C-alpha cells in the first residue's frame, strides 16, 4: 500500500495509473475502520483496478466540538486493516493540506430541503462541511467509482446531488449497511458505547424492523408508525430518540402515497453517543 499525505503527489501517481487504463475506486473515511468500511473497500476492489482509501477527520462537518474531540482515532489498527484487505493507496492529508486557506472556505452549493431536514436540522452545518470535503477529495482523486454506505442514508443522497451538480465523472455506488450479529448498524461511534449502552443500542434496529413489518398493514398510518417508534424508544430508560421519520426514499420529503419508495430514518442518543440508522420499508 502506498501512503500519500499530499494531494499533488497522489494526483501525479493517479494520472499515471489512469494513463495505464486503470479504473479508480475511492472510499473516503474518517478512520476508526470497521467491517462496514472493509465491505466498501472489498466492493471497490471487485469493481475497479485500484482502490484509494482516505482517512481524514474533517473538522468542518462536526457541529459539536465535543463530538470532534471524542471522534475515535485508531490509525495503526486502520493501517493493519487496509494492508490485510490489500487496499492499494491510502491518502492521509493534514488539515492544512485540505484547508490551505483556513476552515471557513464555504462550499457554495445549495442542496435545498434534502440537506436541511433530519440530520440537517439536528446537526446544522454538518452536510455543508461533509460536501465541502467530499468535493475537495473528488477533485483530487477523480475516481471512476465512489463507494459509500447506506448507513449514512442522507449523506449518500447529498453526495449523489453533489456529483450531479458539479458534473463529476464518478459513479456513486451505495453499499448495504453492515450490522453486528444482534442487528446494531456498524459505526465508528459504537466503540464509545459502554457495556450497558451497547446492549440498549440493539433497540434501534429492532424498532426499525418492527416498523417495517407494521408498515405493510395499510391501516397503520405513517404518523401512527412514527409515533409508535418514538414511544417504544422513549419507553426504554437510557434511550433518548431525537427523531424517527418515514420519508420518500429519494427526496426525503414526507410520503404522499404509500406506493412511493419509503425509508425510515432515526437518530438516537444512548449513553452520550448519538447513533443513526435507517431501513428501506418497501
Ligand atoms: O461518512 C464519513 O465517514 C464522512 O462523512 C466522509 C464521507 C468521509 C466525509 O468526511
Cα dihedral 150, 154, 155, 160, rounded to 10, equals: 90
Q: Which atom of ligand 1 is nearest to the CA of 28?
A: 8
pLDDT in tens, 71-113: 999 999 999 999 999 999 999 999 999 999 998 866 568 899 9
| CA-closest residue to ligand 1 atom 8 | 29
Q: 28 CA to middle of ligand 1, Å?
A: 6
Residues 204 and 231 in one domain: yes
Residues 136 and 197 in one domain: no
**Nearest C-alpha neighbor of 149 from the set 33, 247, 69:** 33
Residues 150 and 96 in one domain: yes
- Choose the final residue of a domain: 149, 175, 201: 175
Domain that includes residue 143, residue range: 2-175
DSSP state letter for 31: S
| CA-closest residue to ligand 1 atom 1 | 29
39 Cβ inside 6 Å of ligand 1: no
133 Cβ inside 6 Å of ligand 1: yes
Residues 194 and 261 in one domain: yes
Q: What radius of gyration do the chain's Cα atoms show?
A: 19
Residues 143 and 195 in one domain: no
Residues 273 and 165 in one domain: no
Residue 231 maps to a domain: yes
Which position among 6, 34, 37, 122 bears the catalytic label?
37
- Count of the separate structural domains present in the chain: 2
Q: 137 CA to middle of ligand 1, Å?
A: 11
**What is the model's pLDDT at position 86?**
98
pLDDT in tens, 140-176: 999 999 999 999 999 999 999 999 999 999 999 999 9
Residues 146 and 192 in one domain: no
Residues 171 and 208 in one domain: no
Angle subtended at Cα 223 by Cα 221 and Cα 228, rounded to the nearest 5 degrees: 95
The answer to whether the pTM exceeds 0.85 is yes
Residues 11 and 140 in one domain: yes
Residues 222 and 140 in one domain: no
Q: What is the CATH number of the domain that holds 227?
A: 3.30.1300.10
152 Cβ inside 6 Å of ligand 1: yes
User: Measured in Å, how far apart are the chain's first and last C-alpha atoms?
Assistant: 41
37 in catalytic set: yes
Residue 209 maps to a domain: yes
Exposure of 17 by Cβ count < 10 A (0-12 exposed, 13-18 middle, 19+ buried)?
middle
CB atoms closer than 10 angstroms to residue 18: 15
**What is the model's pLDDT at position 179?**
98
Residues 80 and 165 in one domain: yes
**Nearest C-alpha neighbor of 280 from the set 261, 258, 253:** 261
Residue 182 maps to a domain: no
Parallel, antiparallel or unpaired: strands 145-149 and 171-175:
parallel
**What is the model's pLDDT at position 106?**
61
Q: What is the CATH number of the domain that holds 106?
A: 3.40.50.620
Q: 177 CA to middle of ligand 1, Å?
A: 15
Residues 114 and 226 in one domain: no
Ranges of residues in the chain whose predicted pLDDT is under 70: 105-108
DSSP state letter for 144: S
Amino acid at each position: 500500500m502506498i501512503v500519500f499525505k499530499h494531494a499533488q503527489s497522489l494526483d501525479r501517481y493517479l494520472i499515471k495509473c489512469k494513463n495505464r487504463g486503470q479504473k479508480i475506486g475511492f472510499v473516503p473515511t474518517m478512520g476508526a475502520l470497521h467491517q462496514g468500511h472493509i465491505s466498501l473497500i472489498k466492493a471497490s476492489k471487485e469493481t475497479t483496478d485500484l482502490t484509494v482509501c482516505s482517512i481524514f477527520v474533517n473538522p468542518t462537518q462536526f457541529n459539536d466540538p465535543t463530538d470532534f474531540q471524542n471522534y475515535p482515532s485508531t490509525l495503526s489498527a486502520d493501517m493493519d486493516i487496509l494492508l490485510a484487505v490489500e487496499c492499494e493507496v491510502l491518502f492521509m492529508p493534514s488539515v492544512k493540506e485540505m484547508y490551505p486557506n483556513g476552515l471557513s472556505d464555504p462550499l457554495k452549493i445549495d442542496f435545498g430541503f434534502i440537506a436541511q431536514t433530519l440530520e440537517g436540522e439536528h446537526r446544522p452545518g454538518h452536510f455543508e462541511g461533509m460536501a465541502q470535503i467530499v468535493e475537495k477529495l473528488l477533485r483530487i482523486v477523480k475516481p471512476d467509482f465512489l463507494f459509500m454506505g447506506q448507513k449514512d442514508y442522507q449523506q449518500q443522497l447529498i453526495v449523489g446531488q453533489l456529483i450531479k451538480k458539479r458534473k463529476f465523472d464518478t459513479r456513486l455506488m451505495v453499499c448495504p449497511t453492515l450490522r453486528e450479529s444482534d442487528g446494531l448498524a456498524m459505526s465508528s461511534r459504537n466503540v464509545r458505547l459502554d457495556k450497558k449502552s451497547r446492549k440498549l443500542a440493539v433497540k434501534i434496529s429492532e424498532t426499525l424492523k418492527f416498523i417495517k413489518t407494521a408498515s405493510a398493514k395499510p391501516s397503520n398510518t405513517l404518523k401512527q408508525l412514527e409515533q409508535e417508534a418514538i414511544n417504544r424508544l422513549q419507553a426504554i430508560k437510557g434511550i433518548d430518540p431525537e427523531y424517527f421519520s418515514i420519508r420518500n426514499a429519494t427526496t426525503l420529503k414526507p410520503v404522499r402515497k404509500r406506493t412511493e419508495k419509503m425509508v425510515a430514518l432515526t437518530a438516537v442518543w444512548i449513553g452520550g453517543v448519538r447513533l443513526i440508522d435507517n431501513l428501506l420499508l418497501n
